[in-house]
Structure 1
Amino acid sequence: MTGSYDSYEAAMRDAWQGWWVTWPLSRQVRVGDAFDTSGGTLRTAGDLAGRSVTFELSPAAPAATFTYDSNGSAAVRFKLAGGVPAGFSALTEADAGALVEFGRSSSVLVVYGGLRQEGMSDTRSVAGELVRQYWKGSWPEDLVGVTDVISAAGGTVLAAAGSGASAELRAAAAAGAGPITLVDLAGSVTVARAAHVGLQWVGSDVTPFYRVVRLKRTWLSNVKTQYGPRQPGLGAAPEAVPPILVEEARDDPGQVLEPVPAQEQPRPPAEPESAAQPGRVPEATG
Structure 2
Amino acid sequence: MDDITRDLVTLRDYWRYAISRFNKADLSYGHGTSTAGDDAAFLLLDSLDLPIDALDPFLDARLLPSERKLLAERIETRVTTRKPSAYLTGRSYIQGVRFHVDERVIVPRSHIGEILFREYLGELGSSFLPDPMAVESAVDICTGSGCLAVLAAKFFPQAEVDAVDLSGDALEVAKLNLAEHEVEQQVSLHEGDLFAPLAGRTYDLIITNPPYVDHEALDGYPPEYRAEPRLAHDGGVDGLDLVRRILDEAAAHLNPGGGMICEIGSGREILEEEYPHLDFVWLETASSQDAVFWLSAEALGVE
Answer 1 or 2: higher relative contact order, Cα 8 Å, separation at least 6. 1
- Compare the two structures and name the one with the higher strand fraction: 1
Computing the radius of gyration from Cα coordinates, the structure with the larger value is: 1
Answer whether TM exceeds 0.5 for this pair. no
TM-score by length of 1: 0.21
TM-score by length of 2: 0.20
